[in-house]
Structure 1
Amino acid sequence: MPEVLGPTIRSFQVLPDIPEPLQPLVELAHNLWWVWQPDAAELFRRLDRKLWDQVYHNPVKLLGALSQESLGAAARDEGYIAHLRRVYEAFRKHMDGPGWFQETHPEDNKLLIAYFSAEFGLHESLPIYSGGLGILAGDHLKSASELGLPLNGVGLLYRNGYFQQYLSADGWQQEAYPELDFYNLAVEPMRYTDGTQVQVRVDLPDNAVFCRVWRANVGRIPLYLLDTNLPENSPADRDITSRLYGGGTEMRIKQEIVLGIGGLRALEALNITPSVYHMNEGHSAFLALERIRVLLERNSNLTFDETRQQVMSSNIFTTHTPVPAGIDTFHPDLMVKYFKNFIPSLKLDEEGFLALGREDVSNKKQGFSMAVLALRLADHYNGVSALHGEVSRKMWHNLWPAVPTAEVPIQSVTNGVHVRTWLSPDIQYTLDRYLGDAWTQDPTNQKVWEAVSQIPDEELWRAHERSRERMVSWTRQTLREQLVRRGVVYEDVSIADEVLDPEALTIGFARRFATYKRGALLLRDPNRLRRLLEDSKRPIQFIFAGKAHPADNEGKELIKTIVNFARDPAVRRRFVFVENYDMNVARYLVQGVDVWLNTPRRPYEASGTSGMKAACNGVLNCSVLDGWWVEGYAPDVGWAIGHGEMYPDSGYQDHVESQALYDILEKEIIPLFYRRGVDNFPREWIARMKACMRKLAPVFNTNRMVREYAEKFYVPALHRSLTLGENNMARAIALAHAKDSMRHRWGGVKVVGVHTSGNGHYKVGDTMQVEALIDLPEIDPKDVHVQLYCGPINATGEIEKPQVMDLSYGKVMGPARHLFTGQIDCRSSGRQGFALRVVPGTPDMATMFEPGLITWN
């Protein structure tokens, strides 16, 4: 029987026929600048409001779906054309005007940042994000555009994005993975001058994988996204970029190879040469290995350590994870499988390679940690809140074992949010009216935000009430659609039209349903909660949303518990769960609720940006003192659940903090909200809203955050890299050799003796003289620092809030023996103490702890 052949399908693309007067719409639709410009969003909405919702606010798809009659009518509408002209002029002003960076750092014109992230949350129409990590990355790009920061984003373009959530009849989370049509998204394939698409290659154990490169525009910032769904690849390899965080460990290592190594090769294919590389979490850390490989390929006379020294100088690593279990760690055999052919190009053997990712280099059974790799191949690292910085220093202390925890060189840059993305249209209009455009030009200016105090109470409250009413209306419609999809009988569907009261105190909880976030803490005492919900005189209502990872059954159980409670006929009008949490859902909630609830188990919330989004809208936070709330909390801007305690018994902690939450609701939040005058305005509540916006919005925003990254990391990394790279990397090579030499000679360093003046008892204002005898065989005294580490001693005998002071060189006391002298000024009373240490002082080191050498007395 002859072979039956299937049809040969030839693809072609159909573009919308846009009338000439509307041509600027095409450029606007393909630049995500519009997502933080309400006037630009309204421009698309005006074309067809119903269709705008049907295409889920995707302007590219909208333009392709509109009839020629509708487009022609808009082209003839003088009012619409005037609106388009106004928006396009604002767009060009943003694209062409100077930014903060050009005005404040004109001499740093060699800076070009490559910002790598496994996910980017820019808008619901481009669903290549899962949660806070991706949305932070998206907000980072938006603020970089506003600040004029020279930055390129690099990520993956997932064919199925993150999953769409829906619930079964019994409340169990189900996942759907609809396929994205890239040609109807705000992304475009990159092409060479001959029109062919840009592709790069990465090597897996048995074959090569080809990656197509796409570009999304975020204002002035290009975001390059890699896609392996190409005919040249096998079905398994085409699936590498199918799902965000999908598949098992082997899929993750493939995705991270494509992101880190493929992403770097994509930039090279596009002739983009960054000067600084920022790894947003450890997913992209393989880029550091690829940078070393490329440099060794171009300079075959260099060693791994010499090249590593140069590469580290311009690598920045941001960790978002407060527990080691949250870090991607690969089995050594899996690493060897995927990097066996790559390792020789680094001039390393297998053990030397695997040691780069081991916390304990001597433990050959230990897994290969992406965070450890990033920490070992970067000179600059940070956590994402002050508390998370402390947690990270403790978590990674083993990489700097002799260094006091407080001095582990992991800094912190507290996260923020892109204010204009998350503000409700009504609040934006109110701010424009009373603050002018200054708050949009520089949202970090606290003096500008002080003018929030001048907004009339009535006007701010009505703006907020309109946001709440809009949220309630949207929630009802969304719940109705959910129930219809679930096949619920008509009588139950109609209840969706009655849920939530647009005037009642509304509390929101929406985030990933990871177990440490304790999404069901509020339900720990259901009878007490029911009494609150059934109070008709002072009504209170709750709206929940969030997704659990597909493999997280504990998180799914939490969702099921909440959903089943919400189905109780006695409370279902005041307690709802909205499916499929995404950026669209988040906007409605952070803009429309009155209180934002956050109940993580301290200290597992690295930052927690959803509360910042709410605060910008004047929504008051009620949260455990974890993440950003440790820095943001004050009695006039919200409520703290507990006082920052941490309990060894998690069950007891849940009990204590749930009871504290009920107390706050009953005794503080509800009475304050319903304390009204004859005009029915909650004046005290409004005062707190104003304080919240005034104090938190200018601090917890990504414009402040990105400026901090620029000044603390990007610019210093540029300068350090340029310095070490001078004269064919002469200083990087010298530093690598100096560190290696110091390591070989350090074993002889010894504190022989320490002598102090006095008898051990001093008065405030006295000075204690200190002399130290140090043996430094084969080491020049100029190449070390002899330091006093001093401060108050706590009950466990440890030095708290230490001060570090260098001793001065005195004289030679014998063969290889040297005297160092200094003093301690007694400025405060109480039990004080000091220790003495010797650390390397080699020039050009990023920190004195870089070689990992330290000798204590």
Structure 2
Amino acid sequence: MEQNQKIVERKSHGIISPVAFFCAEYAIGGKESSYAGGLGVLAGDMVLEAADQGLPFVAIGMRYDGTYPDKDGFELVHNSDGSVLELDVPIESSVVSVRAWAKYFSPTAVLYLLDPKVSLNKEQGIMSGHLYDSHFYTRLKQQIIIGIGGFRLLKALGIEPKIYHLNEGNMAFAALAILAEGFSGTTFDEESRIKAVRAKVVSTKHTILEAGIETPMDGLWQFIGKYCETYSIKKEFIVSLGSHEHDTDIFAATKFLLRLSGKVNGVSIIHTVFEKEKHPNSDLIPITNGVYQKRWQAPEFFQKDHELSNEELWNIKKELRKDFVEQVSILSGVNLDSSVCTLVWTRRFVPYKRPFALFEDMVRLAAILNNTDMPVQIVISGAIYAPHSESAEISEKIQALSVDPMFKGRVAFVPGYSLELAKVLITGADIWLNTPILGKEACGTSGMKAGLNGALQMSVSDGWIDEVDWKDVGWILSNDSISSSLYKYLEEAIPAFYNMGNDGIPLEWVRKMRATMSIVESRYTTKRALKDYREKLYGI
């Protein structure tokens, strides 16, 4: 209890005018059920970077089924009298009781996870559910709990944010809470409320795809109507803010959030361009994502790669590849060779990532892999977003292709995905392959992480990749002829890996490694990204 009491004291006196950062997922603690992919990893990186910079930063998320905050250093938030803090969140005609878990990363940076798993809710059949739960109304309730519950948690703790940063349309209910409860005691009309909310809210659109819920307005009103009426918010007002552009009877959470955001950013320059093409009225500010260097760069490289000789740099990479091969061989059952140039493809198994691009011409690929003098090996790993889904089918087909006898054990399929596995893959890869349909990859931070560890980039010119001149450093794949260009560039690229100088070092390859590492270190870390957020989005 003494530790929990300290949390209360710190909340009351430690964090002044913070950024309140709302996100559905956070990759902190290594529990795969707490994050789904790049957004969760980015959110975790932002918390860590804010802690380093001393920025007052309060992150809000949710505890999902299958996660155990107490095992990851979180503690329940208590009242000053020692009792567990519980919040009321109205959903439909009921009140959901919510508690909160807290973990500090510095005296001014904390992550709260809202948890509706208390006895009262069990009696009502209300549980946490899984991240992005397949049951629509469970997912809707989750978003209401994070949004309204998160706002009420800040209020209960006496935290008055300088700005609210809401990530994706699924955080739209935080904007609703600010609209409803943020200006009590005022006599604002509807337009004045909108203006006041927009002065406090910024948001980020992380994908060109629609991430927020879309649901019939009448159905949504069953869940939020009583809450809105409590604060004199009419259904027509919600309709005016969030109705779908093609059907006014449909509530679009992303539109609702954008309407109530003073500033909105996209996560790369080209992302904002494609958003403008799709939505002519879009006015996204480009703030390209970054990665938390201390988390993703091998300690042997961190803040010292510029001081390393070519021999030292290459020998470190060889050791990293050796460790990588040993672990992948155990996980996949394929005996890889630590002296062979290794290409890695790892991301979610979804069609727009084009995971089959590697296997379009099996004969040509086999010739590249089995080249006697300059062999190549491939490691494929990916996340399945739901069992018995298209994603799972893609994974099964890729796994079947990987064991084709013509590849002679040069392709390893690693099932599953985790932060620990990601660190192994990014540190050991020699070539990082990215094959999305152009315009679909909003940023693509995995390439940044691999680049920090000397992996050369072979990618479609999408996301952050499009912002860099890769001539003589990496390879840009053709979006229209991706497989043929992939084979062509592999055939052109691999000789440099094996072209050793008299000192046994592939000088041209090492030069490309250094250049790639320098690009990411100077332009694509969270240190730069958070600086951009502070200047361009937060105004602090």
Same fold (TM over 0.5): yes
Given candidates 146, 149, 156, the residue that maps to 2:55 is 149
In the alignment, structure 1 residue 134 sits paired with structure 2 residue 134: no
1:660-704: CA deviations, max 9, x gaps?
Answer: 1111011x2211211222333111000011111122222001110
Given candidates 191, 206, 228, the residue that maps to 2:116 is 228
Structure 2 CA distance for aligned equivalents of residues 296 and 122 of structure 1: 33
Name the SS for the 1:546 alignment partner: strand
In the alignment, structure 1 residue 422 sits paired with structure 2 residue 296: yes
Cα distance change of structure 1 residues 578 and 316 upon mapping to structure 2, 3 Å threshold: same
1:631-681: CA deviations, max 9, x gaps?
Answer: 134213311002xx5xxxxxxx3xx11111111011x22112112223331
Structure 2 CA distance for aligned equivalents of residues 237 and 255 of structure 1: 14
In the alignment, structure 1 residue 475 sits paired with structure 2 residue 311: no
Name the SS for the 2:459 alignment partner: strand
Structure 2 CA distance for aligned equivalents of residues 455 and 296 of structure 1: 57
Given candidates 297, 304, 316, the residue that maps to 2:190 is 304
1:412 matched residue in structure 2: 286
Mark the runs of 5 or more structure 1 residues left unpaired by the alignment: 1-12, 16-25, 32-94, 96-108, 161-179, 401-407, 435-451, 480-495, 646-652, 717-857
Structure 1 CA distance for aligned equivalents of residues 212 and 83 of structure 2: 38
CA contact (8 A) 1:155 1:223 kept: yes
CA contact (8 A) 2:129 2:138 kept: no
* Number of aligned residues: 532
- Structure with bigger RCO (C-alpha 8 Å, 6+ apart): 2
Structure 2 CA distance for aligned equivalents of residues 461 and 509 of structure 1: 22
In the alignment, structure 1 residue 262 sits paired with structure 2 residue 86: no
Shift of 1:532: 1.7
1:796-855: CA deviations, max 9, x gaps?
Answer: xxxxxxxxxxxxxxxxxxxxxxxxxxxxxxxxxxxxxxxxxxxxxxxxxxxxxxxxxxxx
CA contact (8 A) 1:427 1:464 kept: no
Name the SS for the 1:229 alignment partner: coil
Shift of 1:193: 1.2
Name the SS for the 1:663 alignment partner: helix
1:27-55: CA deviations, max 9, x gaps?
Answer: 9xx99xxxxxxxxxxxxxxxxxxxxxxxx
Structure 1 CA distance for aligned equivalents of residues 245 and 487 of structure 2: 45
In the alignment, structure 1 residue 113 sits paired with structure 2 residue 19: yes
1:466 matched residue in structure 2: 319
2:238 matched residue in structure 1: 353
AA aligned opposite 1:225: L
Cα distance change of structure 1 residues 393 and 208 upon mapping to structure 2, 3 Å threshold: same
Structure 1 CA distance for aligned equivalents of residues 33 and 105 of structure 2: 15
Cα distance change of structure 1 residues 303 and 347 upon mapping to structure 2, 3 Å threshold: farther
Cα distance change of structure 1 residues 394 and 244 upon mapping to structure 2, 3 Å threshold: same
Name the SS for the 1:425 alignment partner: coil
In the alignment, structure 1 residue 289 sits paired with structure 2 residue 289: no
Name the SS for the 2:383 alignment partner: coil
Alignment of 1:334-483 (within 5 A): 334-360=219-245, 363-365=247-249, 367-397=250-280, 400=281, 408-428=282-302, 431-432=303-304, 452=306, 455-479=308-332
AA aligned opposite 1:131: G
Alignment of 1:178-189 (within 5 A): 180-189=67-76
CA contact (8 A) 1:296 1:304 kept: no
2:523 matched residue in structure 1: 699
Structure 1 CA distance for aligned equivalents of residues 254 and 25 of structure 2: 17
2:494 matched residue in structure 1: 670
1:606-646: CA deviations, max 9, x gaps?
Answer: 0000000011111111000011100134213311002xx5x
CA contact (8 A) 1:304 1:346 kept: no
CA contact (8 A) 1:590 1:617 kept: yes
Given candidates 472, 497, 507, the residue that maps to 1:683 is 507
TM-score, normalising length from structure 1? 0.60
Shift of 1:182: 3.5
Structure 1 CA distance for aligned equivalents of residues 376 and 454 of structure 2: 18
CA contact (8 A) 1:611 1:621 kept: yes
Shift of 1:111: 4.0
CA contact (8 A) 1:297 1:345 kept: no
Structure 2 CA distance for aligned equivalents of residues 254 and 604 of structure 1: 28
Structure 2 CA distance for aligned equivalents of residues 580 and 638 of structure 1: 28
Alignment of 1:294-333 (within 5 A): 294-299=181-186, 301-324=187-210, 326-333=211-218
Alignment of 1:555-704 (within 5 A): 555-571=391-407, 573-642=409-478, 653=480, 656-666=481-491, 668-704=492-528
Shift of 1:296: 4.7
Shift of 1:533: 2.0
Structure 2 CA distance for aligned equivalents of residues 622 and 537 of structure 1: 22
AA aligned opposite 2:288: T
Structure 1 CA distance for aligned equivalents of residues 236 and 482 of structure 2: 47
Name the SS for the 1:604 alignment partner: coil
CA contact (8 A) 1:296 1:345 kept: no
Structure 2 CA distance for aligned equivalents of residues 247 and 583 of structure 1: 23
TM-score, normalising length from structure 2? 0.93
Name the SS for the 2:248 alignment partner: coil
Structure 2 CA distance for aligned equivalents of residues 335 and 242 of structure 1: 19
Name the SS for the 2:343 alignment partner: strand
Mark the runs of 5 or more structure 2 residues left unpaired by the alignment: none
Which is further off, 555-564 or 566-575?
566-575
Shift of 1:112: 1.6
Given candidates 181, 193, 197, the residue that maps to 2:80 is 193
Which is further off, 182-191 or 228-237?
228-237
